[in-house]
Structure 1
Amino acid sequence: MRQAIWCLAATLAMTAGAWAGESGSYSGRVIHPDGSPVPNASVLLPEFGDVPSRGETKTDADGRFKLTVIEPPDRPLHRVGPALRIELPKIGATYVDPRRLTLFPGTNRDLGEIVLDPGRRYTGRVVDSVGHPIEGAVIECVTYRYVMGHTVETIGRESKVTTDAEGLFVTPVMPLGAPVFAARKQGYLTKYHDERVVNAADADGRLPDLILLASKPIDGRIVDAEGRSIAGAKINASGTETTSDAEGRFVLHGFKDEDDMRLQVDVDGFTFINWGVKRNDQGFEHYEVAAASGIDDRDAETYRKQMEKITVKSPALEVVLQRAAHITGTAIDAETGEPVEISRIVLCTFTRKADGEAVLNGCRLSRFEQPKPGEFSVEYGYPTAYHLAVSAPGYADGEAFTPPVTKLQPIDSIVVKMTRKLPAGEVQNGRRISGVVTDDGAPLAVGRVGLWKPRKNGNAVNAYITRGRTTAGDGYVEQSAVIENGRYSLTVPYQDEAWYLIVETPERVAALEGPIAVAKDERKEVNLETKIGEVVRGRVEGETPDVPLYAVLFSDIGLQYVSRVRPDGSFEFASVYPGEYGLKVGSDALRDSEVPADWRGSDRPLEERLAIFARRNEPWKRALRVTIEKGKPADGLTVGFEQ
C-alpha cells in the first residue's frame, strides 16, 4: 500500500506563499455512539504536503470545540487539504473529510455532531518457522482509510510495540478502519497482517500468529562515478530506511527474492535515485521508475519488451551516483521584467497528448538554490524533458518546459514569467471568469467560488473510494475566490471546454454551473444564482455487518455527500444540491469487492495482471440511482448493504 500525497497536477494554482492569511474557524461537538459527550479529545488539522499543521485544540467537558485556522492566501482550504482528525487515546480516532472543510475567512463553520466510535485492541504472537517465540520484534501499528483502490491515508497516529520473551504483543487501541500490522525483526522477512486478517480477529481481538521466515540480507554499496565510496547516503527501500556507512555500504533486511522493491537514494550534490529493484538467482535487476512511467501497458508482449530495454542486470547491488545536473534560469515579473524571489519549485516529467496538451507525472517538490532573487538552480537526475512549476508570494504559479536531453547535462537559460495576483475585485488579463453570485435576488454575503474539475474515471485498481465504496470521485478545485460584495473573479489556468463553477456557503453547496468552455485569453462573465438543497432520507435494509455504516451520495461531476447510518438503519442528508446521484452504503472497515485485490501478485502471469489493470471502474454498477429535484425532498429511499 502507499499513502496518498497531494496531487500536484491538480493543485498547482494553490502553492505555498506567505502565511499572512485570513482566519476562519470550525466548531462542533464530539460524542460517543450513545450521544454522550467526549471531553478532552484532540481536534487537529494535521500537516499536508509541505504545509505544517494549521492548529489543534481540545474538546471541553460537553465535547464541544472551536478551532481557529489561519489560511495562507496561496493555499486555500476549499474542498482540498488534510482531513480534520479527532482522537482520544484509549478510545479511538475519527475524521472529517476535506470536502466538508471549506474555510470561510472571518466566519465559523459548524460541523455538527461528530461520533467517535470506540476502537479495538488486538493481541498476537510473533514466532519463527518452527513455532519458537521471537522476542524484540517491532510491531508497527496503523489504521488506514482507502481513498483510492490501493491508495490510503491514515486515521489517527501510527504507533509501535515490541514483543516480549514469549513473542506476545498488545496493540494500542486502533481506530475503526483498515488496521494493518507489520512485524519486523533483523534477520527475518517482514510479515504483515492486513485489514482482512485483522478485521476477522475473534471477539477478544486475538490475531493469528505472525510467522517470520529467516531472510537473506541484501548487501549494497553507494559509490560515485569514479568508484569512490559515498558515506551518509539516505536510503529508503519500500519504507525501510537506512544510511550508508563510511565505505558506502548498507544492508537491507526483510525482503524476499521475488519482491519488487522501490529503492530511493538521496545525497546532496548527486542525482536522486528512484529505482525498481528485484533480487534473483543471478544477482539483481533494476530500472529507472521515471523511464517506466511512460511505457505502454495495454499489451503484455509490448510491455515486456519495453521493460527489458530499460532493465539493467548486475551481480551485485551497486548504486553509482552521478554528480547532479542542474536546470538553471530566472523567474521574472511578466510586466516589469524584474527578478521575482522564488518560494518553491515543483519538478515534473510529462507526456503530451495528440493535441499537444501536457500530462504531468512524477511530480516532486525539489531542492533548489537561489543565489540571487529570481535566479534558480534545481537538480534533476534523469535525462528527459521537464515541467517546472515556480511559486512566489503574491504571484500566480509560473511554468516552463525544458527541452529534452538524452544525457545528464546542464539545462540553462530557462525563463519563467510570473504574473502578479491582483486584489479581489480587480480583473487580470488572460483567461478569467468573473461574475455576481445572488441568493434570493440579493448579493450572496458569505461564500466561496471554486473553479471546479470533475475527476476522470479510471481503472478499477485505482477506483475512487469514499467510506469503503467505489464512486466517481470527488471533484477538485483548481482556483478559489472568496465572494466579496456578491462578486468573484477567478484566473483560469488553461483553456478547456469542461470547467465548472461551484459555490459554497458555510451551510451547503449553493450552486454548480457547467460545463463552461474557456478559450485562450478569454474573459467570461458568469452570474450565478444559488439553489436551496433538498433533504434526502432513507433506510438501510437487510443484513448488515457489525461496524458503523455510512450512506454515500455521489454524482458523475464530482459532488459527494456522506451521512452516518443510525442504529435503526435510517440516514438523512440535510441539504443535497439538485442533480443525479448514485447511493451506496459502506464503511472504512470494509473493502469494496469491485476493487481487484492482490492484482500485482508475483504468481499471476503478466497478461493477467495487465488485463486486471485495464478493467474500468464502474461506480454506478451497484448504486441506487437517485434524482434530486428542486423543491422536492427525497424521502423513503431504501438501499441494501452490499460487500
Structure 2
Amino acid sequence: MRHSSCCFAKPRTLLAVCLATSTVMIVSAHASAPSSMGTLSGKVVDPDGKPVAGARIWVDTHDRKKDSIKKLVEARTDAEGRFRLGPIEPVYRLHLASPPRIETDGFVGPRITSGTLTIFPDRDLDLGTIQVDRGRIFTGQVLDVDGKPRPGAEVTVGSMCHSQGHASGGSLASARLTTDAEGRFHTPPLPVGHLILGVGFPDRQSTNRSGRGIPPGGAEDLGTIRLEPDVPVVIVAKDEDGRPISGVEISHPLATTDAEGKATLRGFGANFQFQLQARKAGYTFIKWGVRKTEQGIYWHEVGRKGPESGPFNELLVILKRAGWIEGQAVDADTGEPVRLERVVVCNFERKPSGEVVLRGCRSDFEQTEPGRFRASFPGPNEYHLTFSAAGYHDAEAYTPRVTELTTIGGIVARMKKKTEGSAPQVAKQTITGMVTRNGKSVRSGWAALWALRRSANAPNSPVMRQRTAVSEPVVYASSPIRDGSFQLDVPFQSEAWYVVAEEPGYPLTQVGPIPVALNQKKLLDITCTEGARISGRVTGVPPGWEGHLWIVAFSKTAVREETRAARDGTFSLPPLPPGEYGLKVGHDAYDDAEVYPGSLVRDHPESFKETADPWKRAKRVRIEAGRDVTGVEVEMPQ
C-alpha cells in the first residue's frame, strides 16, 4: 500500500496539504478528529434573483485507496432554492478534487472556491446565495483530411480556471461529445472560464481550440476544424546502464513502454510542443518540456534552471534509480512489528549549538507489511525521519549522508507505547490555549497553524479570479476547538508561525508571527476580534459583464476573501479581520498581464525570473475592528 501526502484530504481527516511552491514541501499534522458532524448550506437563485428548485449540488473528493474520484455528498434545492449538504465529518479547509458543482436545467453554476471551505463540528457553514448563470454554447464542424465532414470524431470540451498564473485550478464543467453525420458538434452551456476544446480521431493530429476566455452567455460558432494526419512519436525508456525499461507510464498522451522500453505517442504533427511525464516505481519521476522543430527534438526539465538539451533524432528518456530509505518499525519492548501511519522525511541543518532545525519535509512512503517501510528521498544528502503509529509515541532517526541516489537500508524505529505518565521520545512542540469571544469560550470551531508561502515567479504567481494575489497559507496543523480549548502540534521550530481561530458566521482571528523553539510547550490564549466589512462599487465594467465580476481581497498574512459584484457594480465583502487589504476585480476568463497569459509566456522567458507584485495594481484599504469601510471604488482593468 502506498501513502502519499501530496494529494487531497480524506473526507474523514485532514492528513496533508499540497504546497504549490517552487520546492514542494509536505508536512502532515493532525489532531484527533471531532466526532460531531457538520453541514454546508445555501440558496441557489437564477440571474433574475428567483429561487431555483431541483438544482443538484454535489462535492467530489479523492479516494486515495482506489486513486479515483468519488462523490462525497450531494443534495437538491427545495422550492425556495435552499439546500443542505451533509452531514459530513468535520475537516479544516477541505481540499477537493474539483470545486463544488451545481447542475440545473438551462443554467450553469459559478465556481465555488473550495480551498477555504471548512466543515465545523456540530455546526453549519452557510455559503450564502449562489447565483447560476446562462452559459455560452459553442458549435463547429470537423472536416477530415479530404475536406469531407468527419462523423464520429471525439470532442472534449470544458471550462477551466487557474489557481496560479498558468496552473490549472480545476475544470468548472466538462463533457465528451461525438460529431454527428455532418461532422458537427454542439456543446452544453459552459460557465465563464477558459475554454478547453480538443478534437481527436485515430491516426489524426489532435486539434484544439483551447485557451480563449469564455464570456457570459450567448453562442459562438468556431467554424470548421480540419483534421490532419498525425506523425507518430516514439519514446525509448532506458536505465542508467542503457537497458530498456518496460512498464514506464507516459503522459500526456497516455502510453506505457513495452518490453523493449518503447512507447508510441499519437496525435502529434511534424512540429510539436508538450509536457512529458514518465514514472515507474523505483525510478525518479521525469517531467520534461518537449518540443520538436525541423532541427530535431529538444527537452528541458520543468521547474529547473539550465540549458535545453538537443536537438535529437529520437526521444530517449533515461530514468535514474530513485533514492530509497528502507527499514522497519518495532515495539521498543517486545520487538514486534508496528504498523506505521506516517513516515516524514525532512532536510535539516544543525546550528553551532547542535540544535537540529528541520526544513523541507515530505511524507511519501510504502508499507507492504506492518512495520516494513520504504520512503523516497529526492537527492543526495542526509535526512531526518519521524515515525508515527497509533498508540505509540513518535520516534525519529537520521540517515547517513549519501553522495548519490541509492538505497539506504537498516533504519530501525523503536516505538514506545503511550502509557499513563510515559514521555514522548521525540522533541515535540505544541501550542495550547483558550479561545474566547466577548468574554465567553468559543463552543465549537477550528484552530490552525499557518505559515506564509514563498513568492513565486510571475507565470506561477497565485491568482484569485485570475488576478494576481497573495498566496493562500500553508496549513501545517489543525485542531478542533472544544469548549474554548485547543492544542496544535507544531512540526518544527520556527520564528514565523501564525495561529488562527475560525468559527462559522465570524471572520477569522489571526495571531502572529509567533516564535516556537525546539521542544517548547507554548501557551497562547486567543481573544477573537470583531471584523468589519468593505463595500463599494466596481467602475469600468465592460459591456456584457454586468453581474459577472468578482471582488477579491487579500492581506500580507494570507487572509483572502472574495464576493460577487451585483449587476449595478455594487459589492460588499464578508467581514474581515482588522488589517490592510489589497482589492482587485476579476473573473475566471480574465488574462492578467502580470502573469504573461497564453503564448506571451513563451515570448517572454525572462518572466520566469520575475515576481509578480500583487499590490501593484491593487486598491489598498485598511479596516479596524467593528468599523465598516464604505464607498470604495475599484476599477476593472481593460
- Distance, in Å, in 1 between the alignment partners of 2:191 and 2:388 is 38
Deviation per CA, 1:290-319: give whole Å up to 9, x if none.
xx75x4x3xxxxx32xx5xxx587644455
Deviation of 1:504 after TM superposition, in Å, equals 0.7
Deviation of 1:264 after TM superposition, in Å, equals 3.7
RMSD value, Cα:
4.1
Deviation of 1:560 after TM superposition, in Å, equals 1.2
Contact 1:551 1:586 survives alignment (8 Å): yes
Deviation per CA, 1:345-386: give whole Å up to 9, x if none.
6779x798999966649x7855x2433x21113578987777
Gaps of 5+ in 1: 298-302
Report the CA distance shift for 1:358/1:61 in structure 2 as closer, same or farther (over 3 A): same
Deviation per CA, 1:96-138: give whole Å up to 9, x if none.
3235421211112222211122222210123467855444332
Q: Trace 1:9-158 onto structure 2 (pairs within 5 A).
A: 12-14=27-29, 22-48=36-62, 50=64, 53-71=71-89, 76-78=91-93, 80-81=95-96, 83-88=99-104, 90-127=106-143, 132-158=148-174
Matched, 1:414 2:427: no
Contact 2:578 2:624 survives alignment (8 Å): yes
Matched, 1:461 2:459: yes
**Partner SS for 1:594:** helix
Deviation per CA, 1:557-611: give whole Å up to 9, x if none.
1111111101111111241211100111111122222211246866x4xxx51x2
Q: Provide the residue aligned with 1:642 in structure 2.
A: 637
Q: Provide the residue aligned with 2:593 in structure 1.
A: 593
Contact 1:31 1:114 survives alignment (8 Å): yes
Aligned amino acid, residue 206 of structure 2: T
- Stretch of structure 1 that moved more, 168-177 or 499-508: 168-177
Matched, 1:7 2:14: no
Q: Provide the residue aligned with 1:169 in structure 2.
A: 185
- Stretch of structure 1 that moved more, 618-627 or 61-70: 61-70
Picking from 370, 374, 377, the partner of 2:371 is: 374
Q: Provide the residue aligned with 1:557 in structure 2.
A: 557
- Distance, in Å, in 2 between the alignment partners of 1:153 and 1:328 is 35
**Partner SS for 1:109:** strand
Q: Provide the residue aligned with 2:222 in structure 1.
A: 207
Aligned amino acid, residue 487 of structure 2: S
Gaps of 5+ in 2: 1-5, 9-16
Q: Provide the residue aligned with 1:300 in structure 2.
A: none
Q: Provide the residue aligned with 2:264 in structure 1.
A: 251
Aligned amino acid, residue 254 of structure 1: G
Give the structure-1-normalised TM-score.
0.81
Report the CA distance shift for 1:384/1:203 in structure 2 as closer, same or farther (over 3 A): same
Report the CA distance shift for 1:387/1:151 in structure 2 as closer, same or farther (over 3 A): farther
Deviation per CA, 1:42-95: give whole Å up to 9, x if none.
3222114838543222223322221124437xxx32365553332336522334
**Partner SS for 1:590:** coil
Report the CA distance shift for 1:387/1:92 in structure 2 as closer, same or farther (over 3 A): farther
Report the CA distance shift for 1:378/1:438 in structure 2 as closer, same or farther (over 3 A): closer
Deviation of 1:613 after TM superposition, in Å, equals 0.9
Q: Trace 1:209-358 onto structure 2 (pairs within 5 A).
A: 209-221=224-236, 233=247, 235-237=249-251, 239-244=252-257, 249-256=262-269, 259-266=272-279, 274=287, 276-279=289-292, 284=297, 289=301, 295=304, 297=305, 303-304=306-307, 311=309, 315-317=313-315, 326-331=324-329, 339-343=337-341
- Distance, in Å, in 1 between the alignment partners of 2:269 and 2:357 is 41
**Partner SS for 1:461:** helix
- Distance, in Å, in 1 between the alignment partners of 2:88 and 2:447 is 19
**Partner SS for 1:457:** coil
Deviation of 1:400 after TM superposition, in Å, equals 6.4
Aligned amino acid, residue 230 of structure 2: S
Picking from 530, 533, 557, the partner of 1:532 is: 530
Q: Provide the residue aligned with 1:618 in structure 2.
A: 613
Matched, 1:633 2:628: yes
Aligned amino acid, residue 373 of structure 2: F
Report the CA distance shift for 1:546/1:107 in structure 2 as closer, same or farther (over 3 A): same
Report the CA distance shift for 1:320/1:196 in structure 2 as closer, same or farther (over 3 A): closer
- Distance, in Å, in 1 between the alignment partners of 2:427 and 2:279 is 42
Picking from 189, 200, 206, the partner of 2:205 is: 189
**Partner SS for 1:588:** coil
Contact 1:536 1:635 survives alignment (8 Å): yes
Deviation of 1:260 after TM superposition, in Å, equals 4.5
Deviation per CA, 1:137-170: give whole Å up to 9, x if none.
3221121111110111224443211223433211
Query: How many residues of Structure 1 are paired with residues of Structure 2 in the alignment?
Result: 608
- Distance, in Å, in 2 between the alignment partners of 1:511 and 1:199 is 37
Deviation of 1:256 after TM superposition, in Å, equals 4.5
Picking from 505, 515, 518, the partner of 2:516 is: 518
- Distance, in Å, in 1 between the alignment partners of 2:396 and 2:144 is 54
Report the CA distance shift for 1:336/1:568 in structure 2 as closer, same or farther (over 3 A): farther
Deviation per CA, 1:328-347: give whole Å up to 9, x if none.
11245799986431346677
- Distance, in Å, in 2 between the alignment partners of 1:30 and 1:313 is 55
**Partner SS for 1:124:** strand
- Distance, in Å, in 2 between the alignment partners of 1:264 and 1:107 is 43
Report the CA distance shift for 1:401/1:118 in structure 2 as closer, same or farther (over 3 A): farther
- Distance, in Å, in 2 between the alignment partners of 1:422 and 1:119 is 60
- Distance, in Å, in 2 between the alignment partners of 1:354 and 1:545 is 60
- Distance, in Å, in 2 between the alignment partners of 1:41 and 1:129 is 43
- Distance, in Å, in 2 between the alignment partners of 1:340 and 1:182 is 50
- Distance, in Å, in 2 between the alignment partners of 1:225 and 1:468 is 43
Contact 1:12 1:389 survives alignment (8 Å): no
Aligned amino acid, residue 91 of structure 1: F
- Distance, in Å, in 1 between the alignment partners of 2:462 and 2:348 is 23
Deviation of 1:642 after TM superposition, in Å, equals 1.1
Deviation per CA, 1:277-296: give whole Å up to 9, x if none.
45566765666x5xx75x4x
Deviation of 1:510 after TM superposition, in Å, equals 3.8
- Distance, in Å, in 1 between the alignment partners of 2:434 and 2:400 is 42
Q: Trace 1:398-437 onto structure 2 (pairs within 5 A).
A: 402-403=399-400, 405=402, 409-415=406-412, 430-437=428-435
Aligned amino acid, residue 220 of structure 2: G
Aligned amino acid, residue 45 of structure 1: V
Contact 1:234 1:241 survives alignment (8 Å): no
**Partner SS for 2:535:** strand
- Distance, in Å, in 2 between the alignment partners of 1:395 and 1:81 is 31
Contact 2:435 2:485 survives alignment (8 Å): yes
Report the CA distance shift for 1:216/1:53 in structure 2 as closer, same or farther (over 3 A): same
Report the CA distance shift for 1:351/1:18 in structure 2 as closer, same or farther (over 3 A): closer
